[in-house]
Amino acid sequence: MIDAHITHRHHSTESSSRWDALSSSRLGLGRAARAPAAAEIRLPARTAKTKEAEYVKQCSRSDPKLITCLIDALHHLRPYLSAGIPEIELPAVEPFRMDELTLSLTGGVNGYKVQLRDLLIRGASNYTVEDIKLGSSFQAIVRMPALILDAHYSSSGVLIILPASGNGTFHARFGDARALVKGNVSTRPRDGKTYLNVDNLDVDLRVKDVQMRVRKIFNNNRILTEATNLFLRENGQEVLKIMEPQLKRKLSALFAGIVNQLLRHVPVETFLTP
């Protein structure tokens, strides 16, 4: 099992080396198997109906570069995940939605507390699978150039020395996001075919650049708005660190649901030939 932890801006050299070691050796992909960077997402032109669904890119078990083929197959899915796949009732992941995050940013009786509701997150489908290890237990490193988060914002309590109760909008940009995805899969026979199911999935997110801001809060009180944005600007990585337990739980559940919705409609024999 991989001992991977989230770090913030001032991560140690040891932590960075551990992540790099995971990339280069633990997942077992050589340089030739590295994936190309994510390109602009464009839906492939529709063609005449073929035997297999167009969102499926087949790979052969006998291919000496099987891992590379499977990574390419995952990249082939990007535009379909972005737009959704109606025939299997898979909704678009751009944007994907999250109900709420509740954050306690400072302590004390009048601590500064924030609630983010109706979150919309964009950029998840523009992923690149950098490394992967497959089996009943799987692991992957997935990179996204940026995740953009928008939400309704409400706060209560005192920020520094200012009363900071109000409502407005929240915007964040998580630049150069890398996710360590781990989980377990099982097989389920059905109608003479074999289907995979993700039994559990964990997503650990590491973000290099964090930008956060609020707007239209405190009845557009300029002083309070600027004080809040100054706090978010100077403490973005720490705010993200407080978000992480909830983000991990919710992202893991969301992604597991998306993956299983796809896998229950595509048997192993369809995407992995002899």
Cis amide linkage into residue 95, ω under 30° from 0:
yes
pLDDT, tens digit, 9 for 90 and up, residues 219-249: 778 888 898 899 999 999 999 999 999 988 9
Q: Which domain holds residue 260?
A: 95-269
* pLDDT, greater one: 176 or 32: 176
Residue 168 lies inside a defined structural domain of this protein: yes
Q: What percent of the chain has pLDDT over 90?
A: 61
pLDDT, tens digit, 9 for 90 and up, residues 183-196: 999 999 999 999 99
CATH number at residue 123: 3.15.10.30
Residue 44 lies inside a defined structural domain of this protein: no
Residue 258 lies inside a defined structural domain of this protein: yes
Residue 21 lies inside a defined structural domain of this protein: no
3-state secondary structure 56-108: CCCEECCCCCHHHHHHHHHHHCHHHHHHCEHHHCECCCCCEEEEEEEEECCCC
pLDDT, tens digit, 9 for 90 and up, residues 70-87: 999 999 999 999 999 999
Q: Are 58 and 76 in contact (CB under 8 A)?
A: no
pTM for the complete prediction?
A: 0.75
- In this prediction, residues 179-186 reach a mean pLDDT of 94
